[in-house]
Amino acid sequence: MNTTVEFARMNGLGNKILVVDMRGRRDKVTPEAAIALNADPATQFDQIMAVHDPKIDGTDAFIDILNSDGSKAQACGNGTRCVVQALAAETGRHAFTFQTVAGILNAQEHADGTISVDMGKPVFDWDKIPLSEEFYDTSRIELQIGPIDAPILHSPSVMSMGNPHAIFWVDRDVMSFDLERFGPLLENHPIFPERANITLAQVNSPSSVTTRTWERGAGLTLACGSAACAAAVSAARTGRTGRIVAITVASAVPPGILSIEWRERDDRVVMTGPAEWEWSGTVDPATGIWSKDEEPHVRQMGNRAL
| Enzyme catalytic residues | 76, 224
Contact of 108 with 270, CB cutoff 8 Å: no
Give the torsion through C-alpha atoms of 293, 297, 303, 306, to 10 deg.
150
Q: Other C-beta atoms within 10 Å of 52: how many?
A: 20
Query: Looking at the DSSP assignment, which residues form a beta bridge with residue 5?
Result: 283
Rg, the chain, Cα only: 19
Q: If you write DSSP's letter for every residue of 46-79 in order, what string do you get?
A: SEEEEEE--SSTT-SEEEEEEETTS-EES--HHH
Cα 156 to its chain centre, rounded Å, is 19
Cα 141 to its chain centre, rounded Å, is 23
Contact of 115 with 87, CB cutoff 8 Å: no
What's the CA gap between 247 and 78, in Å, rounded? 13
- List, in order, residues 6 or more apart from 47 with CB less than 8 Å away: 15, 16, 17, 18, 65, 66, 67, 68, 73, 76, 78, 79, 218
Say how many Å lie between the first and final Cα of the chain, rounded: 24
For the chain, the maximum distance between any two Cα atoms, rounded to a whole number of angstroms, is 62
3-class SS of residue 138: coil
Helix (H) or strand (E) holding 19: strand 15-21
